[in-house]
Structure 1
Amino acid sequence: MGSKEKGETMTNYNLIATSAMGLEALVAKEVRELGYDCQVENGRISYQGDERAIVRSNMWLRTADRIKIKVGEFKATTFDELFEQTKALPWENFLPANAEFPVSGKSVKSKLFSVSDCQAIVKKAIVERMRQHYHISGWLEENGPLFKLEVALQKDIATITIDASGSGLHKRGYRTGQGEAPLKETLAAALIMLTNWTPNKPFVDPFCGSGTIPIEAALIGQNIAPGFNREFISESWEWIPQQVWEDVRLEAEELANYDQELDITGMDIDHRMVKIAEENAFEAGLGDLVKVKQMQVRDFTTPKENGVIIGNPPYGERLGDKKAVQHMYREMGEAFSILDTWSIYMLTSDEEFETVYGRQATKKRKLFNGFIRTDYYQYWGKRPARDI
């Protein structure tokens, strides 16, 4: 398939936005806001779209892990079935003759459980299809653009996908440094999107670490596309015209609201993290918008009203840390108790959090921070009195 000239018709693809557990509804909401109907399953949101949809999904989805193109899905209980049905797929629509295409794999509750064998068979089937299509008798050179393929078997259903993102979408391109347990940018964005924060309200992260939550808040506040400052693996594919990438980047530039004033503060007890957070904010082009200061949470006071506090505090997972962490939660509860118009949101794996903090949450939501099961404790502030 040659590169498309402007004006040529676009093709429709089956797309998958992968998601961390518990964030599927948020990813689906984002996909719908881009204008695509979707179906939600565990860890994946499926929808259809053209080349422009692939580019816009990569550019705009804040909470998805990555964008994949589903080439085929079929039942396979024998290696023969896997080979023949893989070979029957239209690989020439995706892979040029010199494509580099490593195949990774996984298998869950399937008769074909040897992942290395499944990978080898899928690779062999694609090679055979491409040799026939491109009339190549020897080896395929594989010195061209990179296409990362995956064969995933789940209950004997094989799904073969191509990764259109490359590095995961959480890699926004602004992280110059990070702390011991950095929060993924996609989860940080989700934590903000699960609150009642709007860009005209004050925003505070009392445990900002390398600055991920405040930086994501600033990106959301000014409607800056999260993928604006990075590259994607699919930029080297000739069947997605360069013009589409240029158009989508131009659209992102036009939709950004750089004039939106923001009141965003990050705090951390560690002066080294404060410096890293400042550097990351400048790398993201948001250095003037995100204020970072060294402070303990117990010292936090503010005359401002109707703000939002979001924190990913230490959890005290390690033995011996729990006592110190719970002491800090208690001090935080005391410091925040007078902020009755503020809404407070805390992510922690400590199941005793409400007791130690001193208040029962308005609502809590189960989320996973990597592999750690956590709860997102939500304390809603008093609603501001309406002007009469």
Structure 2
Amino acid sequence: MSQNITLIATAAMGLESVVASEVKQLGYEANVENGKVIFNAPVSAIPRCNLWLRSADRVKLHVGRFKTETFDDLFEATKALPWENFITEEGKFPVSGKSVKSTLHSVPDCQAIVKKAIAEKLKLKYGFAGNLPETGGLYKVEVAIHKDDATLTIDTSGSGLHKRGYRIGQGDAPLKETLAAALIMLTNWKPDYPLIDPFCGSGTIPIEAALIGQNIAPGFNRDFTSEDWKWIKNRYWDEAFEEVEDKANYSQKLNITGYDIDHRMIEISKENATEAGLGDLISWKQMQANDLVLREQNGYLIGNPPYGQRIGDKEAAGEIYSELGKIMKKHPTWSIYILAAFDAFEQKFGQKATKKRKLFNGFIQTNYYQYFGRKQ
């Protein structure tokens, strides 16, 4: 296939602009909608985007979009789409769905109709009288209907892009790798500056920072569903992996440290960092936040401390914020970035944030409190 295709990089609420920036850095023009970034690109963008996008949840192939209010409309409009350009005659194509504020509100019925319409189209194309074999590559189709507007896509990623392949262990409330990467990209940290996470848990923020610091593609250590798609030439994948290797800066020195009060989390962090190939690049230390000592200037503190909801309680969380605020007040050259679901965070921290950004950590609404340091 030589013509351009339309791709959708899905994004957690509040991170659309971060994902769009990444898409543009890869050389593609992007349009932002709620929860997604849409762009036209050559087929070679499927390997590149899956390998490089740090903050996106998935990369989906956009097959078609149309208005639909009846099951007949849904069937005919789906059947009219060029499924044969993407799904091979032996391909497996399970259909998932969702419907919001739409006339066709029964998701199981919508899924069944889309499945039947695609099957009819493929049987016509490949000359099958009976059922299609569905023994080959996987093409996960989604029908998403919002206010009677249906979008049909095929997932190119497989497992969500947050699954980098390095997480051996985790704590009770792990931070998604995609969100951790976004928290770093929302700062102006450069790999020449020190970076610490006083609440590192299983090490996600320091590990993602090291990947960013050495320009290592986050998808280098995993597989993608679309690697098995015959219409994506092997050379596109080969070229994408070559680009990943060429652009990595393994000689970049880093000053990244993760701290946690729990020695078990420090051990898990070390294991995860080693699995990511970053074992010697990140320092780890068991320590509580109020024992933090900073000897350098112009550093960055990026943290996801306990919220007082899922871990501990609000009073304990407030004490942590208060102690951290007292420590960081002595270090005005440091920039501080804290993700917290605590309405009185600024009051406890003892300082109004330079900037605040609403983000979601899973289903928890949070604020990303940003304090810009005075650089020397």
Structure 2 length-normalised TM: 0.98
Shift of 1:11: 2.4
| Pick aligned residue for 2:19 from 10, 13, 27 | 27
Q: Measure the CA separation in 1 of the matches of 2:135 and 2:3.
A: 26
Q: Measure the CA separation in 2 of the matches of 1:171 and 1:208.
A: 18
| Alignment pair present for 1:324 and 2:316 | yes
Aligned to 1:372: 364
- What is the identity, as a one-letter code, of the residue corresponding to 2:263? H
Shift of 1:329: 1.4
Runs of 4+ in 1 over 6 A off after TM superposition: none
| Pick aligned residue for 1:114 from 94, 99, 106 | 106
| Pick aligned residue for 2:304 from 288, 309, 312 | 312
The answer to whether the Cα contact below 8 Å between 1:297 and 1:335 also exists between their aligned partners in 2 is no
Provide the secondary structure at the position in 1 that maps to 2:208. Answer: helix
| Alignment pair present for 1:218 and 2:210 | yes
| Pick aligned residue for 1:202 from 172, 189, 194 | 194
Unaligned residue ranges in structure 1 (runs of 5+): 1-8
- What is the identity, as a one-letter code, of the residue corresponding to 2:188? N
Provide the secondary structure at the position in 2 that maps to 1:51. Answer: coil
The answer to whether the Cα contact below 8 Å between 1:218 and 1:286 also exists between their aligned partners in 2 is yes
| Alignment pair present for 1:283 and 2:275 | yes
Q: Measure the CA separation in 2 of the matches of 1:377 and 1:258.
A: 31
The answer to whether the Cα contact below 8 Å between 1:82 and 1:122 also exists between their aligned partners in 2 is yes
Aligned to 1:335: 327
| Alignment pair present for 1:302 and 2:294 | yes
Provide the aligned C-alpha RMSD in A.
1.0
| Pick aligned residue for 1:60 from 52, 65, 88 | 52
Shift of 1:320: 7.0
Q: Measure the CA separation in 2 of the matches of 1:117 and 1:361.
A: 49
Q: Measure the CA separation in 1 of the matches of 2:117 and 2:370.
A: 51
Provide the secondary structure at the position in 1 that maps to 2:294. Answer: coil
Shift of 1:337: 1.6
Deviations 1:68-103 (A, max 9, x none): 011111111111111111111111111111110000
Q: Measure the CA separation in 2 of the matches of 1:339 and 1:172.
A: 34
- What is the identity, as a one-letter code, of the residue corresponding to 1:155? K
Q: Measure the CA separation in 1 of the matches of 2:308 and 2:297.
A: 31
| Alignment pair present for 1:251 and 2:243 | yes
Aligned to 2:94: 102
The answer to whether the Cα contact below 8 Å between 1:55 and 1:244 also exists between their aligned partners in 2 is yes
Q: Measure the CA separation in 2 of the matches of 1:53 and 1:10.
A: 12
Deviations 1:212-267 (A, max 9, x none): 00000000000001111110000010011122111100111000000000000000
Provide the secondary structure at the position in 2 that maps to 1:291. Answer: strand
Structure 1 length-normalised TM: 0.95
Deviations 1:98-151 (A, max 9, x none): 110000000011111111001000111111111111111111111110100000
Unaligned residue ranges in structure 2 (runs of 5+): none
The answer to whether the Cα contact below 8 Å between 2:173 and 2:310 also exists between their aligned partners in 1 is no
The count of residues paired between Structure 1 and Structure 2 equals: 376
| Pick aligned residue for 2:348 from 356, 359, 371 | 356
Q: Measure the CA separation in 1 of the matches of 2:125 and 2:360.
A: 45
Shift of 1:383: 2.2
| Alignment pair present for 1:229 and 2:221 | yes
